[in-house]
Amino acid sequence: MIDARSLQVLANFCNAAADAMAYTLMRTAHSAFVKETEDFSCQIVTREGLAFGNPRHLGAPWYSGVDYGGLLASFPAYAPGDICITNDPEAGNVATHTPDIHIWKPVFHEGEIACFVVGHIHNTDVGGAVPASLSRSLSEIVQEGVRIPPVKLIEQGVENPYIAKLIRANVRLPEQNLGDLAAQIASVNIGERKMGEIIRRFGFETFLQGVEAILDHAEAQARQALSKVPDGEYFFADYADEDSPEGLPARVALTLRVQGDAVELDYSGTDPQLGSSLNMPTGGRERHALVMVGLTYVLGTLSPGIWLNAGTLRAARAVLPEGTMVNAAPGAAVGMRSLTCALTQIVTQGAFAQALPALMPAAAPGGNAIMNIRTAARNGRPAMASIGPVGGGGGATPFADGGDGAGGTTGFLRNTPIEISEAEVPIHFLRYGLEPDSGAPGRWRGGLSAVMEFRVSAPETVVTARNRNRSIMAAWGLQGAGAAGVSRFVKNPGQAGEVNLGNTDLVRCGPGDVIRVVGPGAGGWGDPFSRPPELVAADVRRGAVSPERAAADYGVVLRGGTVDMPATEALRAAPRPAPETISHGPERRVFEAVWTRARYDLLTAFLAGQPVSWRFYLKHRVFEAVAAAPDAPPEPQMREIFARLCARYGLDAPA
């Protein structure tokens, strides 16, 4: 019997088994994704598919509460020695884009299944229309590479050779995929052995009972944390800059309902699924790991040391309307779902910030640009390299400045050393570091953004900034802090041929071209005029804030590096607009002056009544119509637009 005295013992053993799987994976995997960015997961899941054992320090932090139920049900029966594989987001909604290859293996004890050992690796390439398989511009999942429906890769210890042939025939770097797959197999085999030992140590029945106790304890911890959140309904929305290349903003909306020790995450109001690849294939599952990441962060912050597993999520359920960005219908492209997932984290933080204003930090801006370069070496040989993420800092907290360069929900990424990048590809870096004045002002300052600038030396060079966002709409601040600056992507800055690349994520370059990327700023916390002047002076000394911004944003006047108190007091006493609880950047203010919440609600209701395949198209037509007459009274205008569109396209008019 596992009880309050022995619960941590079983949990330690199970987490150790997951650790062993992760270490084995890292030791034997081939690709940089595993070794440098740790984009993989390993779990121990119940017979029903609920994760109860996770690595403590390794792997991507999004999957601690994953539910493999949809995949486990792919087969009517399992035998010892089976290992199953899929990367199909439409099968069981566990894989969430095609590069994520998941495998799972049953752990038997005396003829009965005790649990499953599972995991995934983000493969660098799984074929499809573009190298690395991911691009915002793709519009159908069939463009995103080979899909392997759930199949037994190994059946009772005998490998199905067709799977390796299928992979080899469809991907760009088959040795890397197959090397990583071998690592995954080694990983689940280690997991199976470790779990077998644990089950024998505790006994089958005790183990099963103990696993439930682990899930129950995590649930109780989560509920205890949530019971301290005031009951109520909290709405928050945020936007991806573009729903397609040169497109419109794409909104993710969340109504957080807190009641007692439980929460509901209602994503109604989120935009219809897109004709680009920013869709999330959740299948509408109410505890899908991808829509719960933000909640996991909030709980991990409110209760450090909380156990994170599928039990954690029992206190929550999500509402994911079908045919929206957070629950795309089959067929939709989903490759860049990480950009949208970052938005779900941001709106979750925004909603909790209203419920717990004294505790929640401003959100990290999301939209970390994953920089890749394809160029040619001096000998003409093609050279490709991932030269690291360039993103914003962490949002300011109620107690401290945000982390510089990375923090909050984007703090798990590692960078690539400049010396490694320069040794691998013939580019010359001019700058890598932190961008002054990029952290939003506040009583506590948002973290500074990263900046990267480099010169290209070969023709036909392609630079991609995948996952970049927030070059139009800035990250928000809290409790009177300022909003942040936006991300910038510029070719040949300060030169005659300077090109502002706007929100694009790909640019072609030739010898001598210089590329500069600045991550989006992170929001501040609290009124910047209440920031102690000596902290502002220290920021100026270290180059984080310019003297001009110190005066303009913080009302602090410096003379010879020290604070001029009379001038500062005078500046701070001057009249100014009242600080807002949540402050947005100018682009969002302009947008929301037209697209009010009420107007957006009308759009959401209208689109929800139309066929999924029409919604993205209709959204664009409605936006065009509104843009033609932005000052008309919204309700009659929207009804008129909807009626006109329905008549024109022969669609059912709204009720």
Between residue 455 and residue 494, which ones bind another protein under the rule CB under 8 A?
none
- Judged by beta carbon, residue 141 or residue 347, the one nearer another protein is 347
The length of the chain, given as a count of residues: 655
Minimum CB–partner distance for residue 388 and another protein (Å): 8
Task: From 20-28, 157-165, 607-615, 630-638, give the range in contact with another protein by CB under 8 A.
Answer: 20-28
Considering only 27, 168, 508, 597, the residue that binds another protein (CB under 8 A) is 27
- Site for another protein contains 395 (CB under 8 A): yes
- Residue indicated by tokens 């914003």: 392
- Judged by beta carbon, residue 201 or residue 644, the one nearer another protein is 201
- Site for another protein contains 541 (CB under 8 A): yes
- Site for another protein contains 407 (CB under 8 A): yes
- Site for another protein contains 241 (CB under 8 A): no
| In contact, 282 and 290? CB cutoff 8 Å | yes
Considering only 75, 235, 429, 617, the residue that binds another protein (CB under 8 A) is 429
Considering only 394, 521, 526, 555, the residue that binds another protein (CB under 8 A) is 394
- Residue indicated by tokens 């982390």: 403
- Site for another protein contains 23 (CB under 8 A): yes
- Judged by beta carbon, residue 28 or residue 206, the one nearer another protein is 28
Task: From 81-89, 248-256, 396-404, 464-472, give the range in contact with another protein by CB under 8 A.
Answer: 396-404
d(CA 413, CA 422): 20
Decide: residue 273, CB within 10 A, 0-12 exposed, 13-18 middle, 19+ buried.
buried
d(CA 605, CA 654): 9
- Site for another protein contains 430 (CB under 8 A): yes
Minimum CB–partner distance for residue 412 and another protein (Å): 4
Q: Binding-site residue total for another protein (CB under 8 A)? A: 88
- Site for another protein contains 297 (CB under 8 A): yes
- Residue indicated by tokens 């694009």: 504
Considering only 389, 477, 485, 528, the residue that binds another protein (CB under 8 A) is 389
Minimum CB–partner distance for residue 12 and another protein (Å): 4
Q: Which of 121, 137, 120, 132 is nearest to 171 (CA)?
A: 132
Minimum CB–partner distance for residue 89 and another protein (Å): 24
| In contact, 222 and 246? CB cutoff 8 Å | no
Minimum CB–partner distance for residue 221 and another protein (Å): 6
- Judged by beta carbon, residue 297 or residue 623, the one nearer another protein is 297
d(CA 95, CA 91): 8
Minimum CB–partner distance for residue 582 and another protein (Å): 17
Minimum CB–partner distance for residue 447 and another protein (Å): 8
CB contact burial 153-185 (16+ within 10 A = b; e otherwise): bbeeeeeeeebbeebeebbbbbebbbebbebbb
Between residue 316 and residue 355, which ones bind another protein under the rule CB under 8 A?
349
- Site for another protein contains 546 (CB under 8 A): no
Q: Letter for the amino acid at 284?
A: G
- Adjacency order of strands within the sheet including 499-500: 427-434, 450-456, 514-518, 488-491, 499-500
Q: Letter for the amino acid at 631?
A: D
Q: Which of 24, 68, 75, 79 is nearest to 44 (CA)?
A: 68
Considering only 7, 163, 462, 567, the residue that binds another protein (CB under 8 A) is 7
Minimum CB–partner distance for residue 3 and another protein (Å): 8
Task: Give the pair of three-digit tokens for residue 588.
Answer: 């969002």
- Site for another protein contains 408 (CB under 8 A): yes
- Site for another protein contains 358 (CB under 8 A): no
d(CA 603, CA 620): 11
Q: Which of 639, 638, 630 is nearest to 594 (CA)?
A: 630
CA distances from 502 to 298, 378, 499, 576 (A): 32, 31, 9, 32
Between residue 512 and residue 531, which ones bind another protein under the rule CB under 8 A?
none
Number of Cβ within a 10 Å radius of residue 498: 12
Minimum CB–partner distance for residue 54 and another protein (Å): 10
| In contact, 291 and 285? CB cutoff 8 Å | no
| In contact, 68 and 118? CB cutoff 8 Å | yes
317-322-325 Cα angle (round to 5): 90
Distance between start and end Cα atoms, the chain? 58
- Site for another protein contains 236 (CB under 8 A): no
| In contact, 466 and 505? CB cutoff 8 Å | yes
Minimum CB–partner distance for residue 52 and another protein (Å): 15
Minimum CB–partner distance for residue 537 and another protein (Å): 11
Between residue 55 and residue 74, which ones bind another protein under the rule CB under 8 A?
56, 61
d(CA 611, CA 590): 30
- Judged by beta carbon, residue 270 or residue 296, the one nearer another protein is 296
Strand partners, 152: 84
- Judged by beta carbon, residue 420 or residue 625, the one nearer another protein is 420
Between residue 108 and residue 167, which ones bind another protein under the rule CB under 8 A?
none
- Judged by beta carbon, residue 27 or residue 644, the one nearer another protein is 27
Residue 76's contacts (CB-CB under 8 Å, 6 or more residues apart) are none
Decide: residue 443, CB within 10 A, 0-12 exposed, 13-18 middle, 19+ buried.
buried
Residue 306's contacts (CB-CB under 8 Å, 6 or more residues apart) are 218, 221, 222, 225, 299, 300, 312
Task: From 25-33, 462-470, 485-493, 584-592, give the range in contact with another protein by CB under 8 A.
Answer: 25-33
Considering only 434, 478, 550, 645, the residue that binds another protein (CB under 8 A) is 434
- Judged by beta carbon, residue 297 or residue 595, the one nearer another protein is 297
Considering only 8, 562, 581, 596, the residue that binds another protein (CB under 8 A) is 8
Distant-in-sequence contacts of 103-107, Cβ < 8 A, 24+ apart? 103/153, 103/181, 103/184, 103/185, 103/188, 104/45, 104/68, 104/71, 104/72, 104/188, 105/188, 105/189, 105/191, 105/192, 106/78, 106/79, 106/80, 106/82, 107/191, 107/192, 107/195, 107/196, 107/199
Minimum CB–partner distance for residue 622 and another protein (Å): 36
Considering only 217, 251, 287, 588, the residue that binds another protein (CB under 8 A) is 217
Considering only 258, 265, 298, 329, the residue that binds another protein (CB under 8 A) is 298
Minimum CB–partner distance for residue 301 and another protein (Å): 4
Between residue 156 and residue 215, which ones bind another protein under the rule CB under 8 A?
175, 179, 182-183, 186, 190, 194, 197
Between residue 366 and residue 385, which ones bind another protein under the rule CB under 8 A?
384
- Mark 579-618 with x for binding to another protein (rule: CB under 8 A) and - for no binding: ----------------------------------------
Considering only 70, 174, 196, 300, the residue that binds another protein (CB under 8 A) is 300
Minimum CB–partner distance for residue 239 and another protein (Å): 21
